[in-house]
Structure 1
Amino acid sequence: MKGEVKERGMIFNDEMVRVILGGNKTQTRRIVEEKFYGRAVAAELLAKHCPYGQPGDRIWVRETYRVHGKATDVATLVYRASVRNSWTEQTHRVPVEVCNKPVSEKWTPSIHMPRWASRILLEITNVRVERLNDISECDARAEGAPTESTLIGDKHYPGFRSLWKSIYGEDSWNANPWVWVIEFERIQGATSE
């Protein structure tokens, strides 16, 4: 019998938040911190101990935001990833009693986002472990990677490689680390909400 559903926060940059909201990102990769030596059986066992959760668990997206205003009963939050969108799409309202932050013109970094401020909730559908460079074209697309032109057409794999290097550096890509592959579906935070 599966235990209680767990929720954990996970940081996403503005670009990835936009891709999640657009419905084009259903996977994320995070570096495995434990020492790992590459046996398939070990990968299967390790996937059962993913620090980000198991299928059925939830991830609340941590993104850069600020408190825009407070009324008697609600506080209005603005999200940096959505500032180019309509006012309705870029804001989220929460009960004022849970909003313990003052109104500010400064952005609060994603690492400091509390659960009550999150507007996007993801449900984990699958977890596995693999080498970073083993990502398939299909998985690069599921990562929400942009396309890059190649001799055989536009491909997501080179876009994913470029995105990874921009975040973690060239050395990280070349080291080909083991990564958690976390597949998810968005259950809260649709652009129509």
Structure 2
Amino acid sequence: MLEKIIHKFFGSKPETPVPQSPPIMDRPIIFSDESIVQILLDRKTQTRRALRKQPKFSICPLPASPSGYAYTEADDQPKRHVPGCPYGKVGDRLWVREWWTTEHRAFDGEPSENFRAQVTSHSERLYYRSDSPDIRDSRYWRNPIFMPRWASRLELEITAVRLERLHDISCADVLAEGCHGSDWHEYAELWDHLNARRGFDWESNPWVWVLEFRRV
């Protein structure tokens, strides 16, 4: 009876809003030819990317931060939030950019047995350098930076994100990075080949975003 009176004068009880899940984002990421091969073989399920702004002191967990981490410049300095991972969060998708070309650019429309073609949803015949390791002439290939979304053949789902020092990589992580053995020396050489000229050499032990992923 009381419920009927309340409903008559005050209307129905307002519904409790349902929390909305963050939208799934779709971002590009560049991989080397060697990494592409390992991803296609399902041997590479991790990648490490250096923080663009390296903290001078340390990084520590902080749940209130957008990234879940904070950094300090000195013992007596306040903690500052580390911005969220630029590659996304768990559940987000990464579409892979790589060296590529079209049939017309590769050999002016003439087929070649040395190129392995892929046909995209746009029905345009495309070629990827990681499939043709013997053909490295830069005249044929387009820089990954200029690869449009429709030309990408690989999509990855982020399954885990964390921050750590580069030297914290474990033997299992080395294998997940697509290396042929668990010896970190091989990974260190690969890291320097890709990152040393950018100021993030192995010896400097930079802070890195660790992304774990699976092929979609």
TM-score by length of 1: 0.75
**1:53 aligned residue (67, 88, 96):** 88
Amino acid at match of 1:137: C
Structure 1 or 2: more strand by fraction:
1
Aligned-pair CA distance for 1:143: 0.7
Q: Structure 1: which 5+ runs fail to align?
A: 85-104, 148-154, 188-193
Residue 157 (1) aligns with residue 176 (2):
no
Aligned counterpart, 2:30: 11
Q: Structure 2: which 5+ runs fail to align?
A: 1-19, 71-81, 110-118, 134-138
**1:38 aligned residue (58, 69, 81):** 58
Aligned counterpart, 1:191: none
Residue 125 (1) aligns with residue 145 (2):
no
Residue 29 (1) aligns with residue 48 (2):
yes
Other structure's SS at 1:40 match: strand
Alpha-carbon distance change, 12 to 38 in structure 1, aligned in 2, over 3 angstroms: same
CA contact (8 A) 2:54 2:207 kept: no
Structure of higher CA gyration radius: 2
* Greater Cα offset, 107-116 or 36-45: 36-45
User: Taking every aligned residue pair, what percent have the same amino acid on both sides?
Assistant: 40
Alpha-carbon distance change, 39 to 168 in structure 1, aligned in 2, over 3 angstroms: closer
Instruction: Say what the alpha-carbon RMSD is for the aligned residues.
Output: 2.5
In 2, Cα distance between equivalents of 1:5 and 1:60: 13
Amino acid at match of 2:185: P
CA contact (8 A) 2:158 2:213 kept: yes
Amino acid at match of 1:44: G
Aligned counterpart, 1:63: 98
TM-score by length of 2: 0.67
CA contact (8 A) 2:59 2:69 kept: no
Higher relative contact order (CA 8 A, sep 6+): 1
Alignment of 1:88-127 (within 5 A): 106-127=140-161
